[in-house]
Chains A and B, each alone.
Chain A
Amino acid sequence: MTNGKLLLDVEHLRVGFRTEDGLVQAVDDVSFQLRSGEVLAIVGESGSGKSVSALTLMGLTPRLNTTFEGTATLEGQDLLNATDDELRRLRGEKIAMIFQDPMTSLNPVQRIGGQIVEQIQAHRDMGSQEAYDLTVELLERVGIPRARERIRSYPHEFSGGMRQRVMIAMALSCDPSVLIADEPTTALDVTIQAQILAVMQELRERTDAGIVLVTHDLGVVADIADRILVMYAGRVVEQGTVDEIFYDPQHPYTWGLLGSIARVDRPRPDRLPSIPGLPPSLHNRPKGCHFRPRCRHEFGQCAEVPALEARDPAAPLHTDRCWLPLDEKRSKREIADGQIGLEAKGVIA
């Protein structure tokens, strides 16, 4: 853990949506901290609550029929109870977001330069010429060639990877202290993914910003993240440093995630290993540990919700939600998967 300034402090965040079928608890007791210069990865499959958590920090979850509990502060400022106008001033200025699908995230009828200038001018008292110069500089920084000409282009004249670079430049335009990247590479093909990750990596080295990287792909985070938060069905099931998660995973769900990374350093299996079953519907989550129905190591105690706590006194910040005793976990995961990504660092899936 780095010793930077505390940027984001999320405590027991719960986000629920009231629907016709009852309350859907999309985020259930999520806590984490983000410091400057740090990259926190939130990993989980679709519906695990990772995107809702990210959008909530931006104040972009719809307010109507949504319940918020817990606290979330950005540099001491309350995010959950902020007024619309306070949130508007934070967004894009202090906390910026990069979205999953660059093909649809830019306004199709506006030139890309104008779309970035618009954000700069929403927060800075800056003349058009100055804002355009800054935009060119930003686009060059994220690796867009001939940026001075390209600012006059429309989004459809750019490829997906280029558009994601534009989105990154846009997010960086006001020097935010927190950058949230919601699956920034998911919609891109593999070579472009690597390029965008390289841009993010460079960014991480150059800015002081704290980065929250939301993804379903552990392979993506191996190189870039400091800490990893693994989410399942709205809950954090394991949290630790990259080394702890990759070398000493504690939760059977994390084992499964690690096991299903496509590896180039191992003989190719006939089928990629997968976790049996499906994630539970948020309308009807299993009692106790939510992963219980899909877990091969389930036993009686799993009917109660395990607390998120450290199990190994040697690693007090490595927490998980699994009842299995520590030594049993360590022996079972080897036998269980044989594929645990203990050397998975450096692998991009």
Chain B
Amino acid sequence: MGRFIIRRLFAMILVMFAVSVLTFLIFNVIPNGDPAARMAGKNSTPGQIAAIRRDWGFDDPLWKQYLNTMEKVFSGDLVSYANRENVVDRIKDGAPRTFVLAIGAAIIWFVAGVALGLFSAVKAGKASDRGVTVLALIGISMPVFWLGALMSYYLGYKLGLFPNGGYVPIAQGGFFEWIYHLILPWIALSILFIGVYSRVVRSSVLDTINDDYVRTARAKGLGEKRVLRHHVLRNSLIPVITLWGLDFGAVLGGGAILTETVFDIQGVGQYFQESISRLDVPPVLAITLFGAFFIVLFNAIVDIVYAALDPRIRLS
């Protein structure tokens, strides 16, 4: 276990280094990438641009710019090129919103996906299975920006059942307002995942249900419920939990860009989207690192959980 953690930590540093270098380089080669020109504004003289370039260190060799930026990421002094806000503070503000969105949605999609998948597998071939399959495919096919916009428009604006986007912290509006504003985003973010997970769970359960040890469990005279819970589900959820860990990590790291933007959550994902559209390198770099951290972290957690669920797997 100790060796596993050290190895994973080392891998995490390596991945984050690679991700930061790549992100940094990409923004230096794309056209219209000169931050000095953009910071100076439309009616600027070449002299003003040169001055900004000098002041912000854009004249330095790339490796030096990279090191300076990375130093600021970790000291918390990183400043946006677009509006000179402190990037790390913005991420700190947005992170709780993103976490709340991700945790709620991940629970919803896991529970609903497993329940629907199991139902579908048990009823395999029957009309109810086909019905769930069709629903799952519809869910998978609906893009979040479209579904979110429709939900927000009809359920929020037209019918007034839900607030039209926005995020209200508990401290501000109380628990009820907080949940009330989160229901639509949670559902919008979950629907695609529910579709995918119900399909994965269905096929995994159908694989397991024909395994010899399930036949043994029946031959022992166990009730069908116990067979399903203890022998089928436990084994067929192992691959699903891997998938869930990785998806959850990605959403926690700001991956729910569309949902956050459509519902104006003001989380890390939405900040990411705004920064990309302004070609604002410092926040993009910082959020990419933030996301990579969660993805790598959850990869490691998934491996640990995997070993706990399946005794045949050893961490080494």
Contact = CB atoms under 8 A, between A and B. Distances in A.
A92 B226 CA distance: 15
B216 A105 contact: yes
Nearest to B211: A104
Contacts of A119: 220-222
A154 B312 contact: yes
Contact of A101 (B212, B219, B224, B312): B212
Given A88-B221, A118-B230, A119-B221, A154 B215 contact: no
B219 A58 contact: yes
Interface in B180-222: 211-213, 215-222
A88 B227 CA distance: 11
Given A118-B230, A154-B312, A105 B212 contact: yes
A110 B220 CA distance: 15
B223 interface: yes
Given A99-B216, A104-B212, A118-B230, A109 B222 contact: no
B258 to A, nearest CB: 37
Contacts of A156: 311-312
Interface in A75-113: 84, 88-93, 96-97, 99, 101, 104-110
B43 to A, nearest CB: 69
B235 A93 contact: no
B311 A91 contact: no
A93 B221 contact: yes
Contacts of B224: 84, 88
B234 A109 contact: yes
Contacts of A118: 220, 222, 226, 230
Interface string B233-247: 011001000000000
Interface residues of B, number: 23
B235 A91 contact: no
Interface string A172-206: 00000000000000000000000000000000000
Contact of A109 (B212, B219, B226, B311): B311
A88 B218 CA distance: 8
B93 interface: no
Contact of A122 (B213, B222, B309, B311): B222
B234 A91 contact: no
Interface string A219-239: 000000000000000000000
Contacts of B220: 91-92, 118-119, 122, 170
B310 interface: yes
Interface in A119-174: 119, 122-123, 154, 156, 167, 170
A268 to B, nearest CB: 36
Contacts of A170: 216, 220
A29 B44 CA distance: 98
Contact of B213 (A89, A92, A97, A107): A107
Q: Which 6 A-B pairs have the closest CB atoms?
A: A92-B221, A91-B221, A119-B220, A104-B212, A92-B220, A154-B311
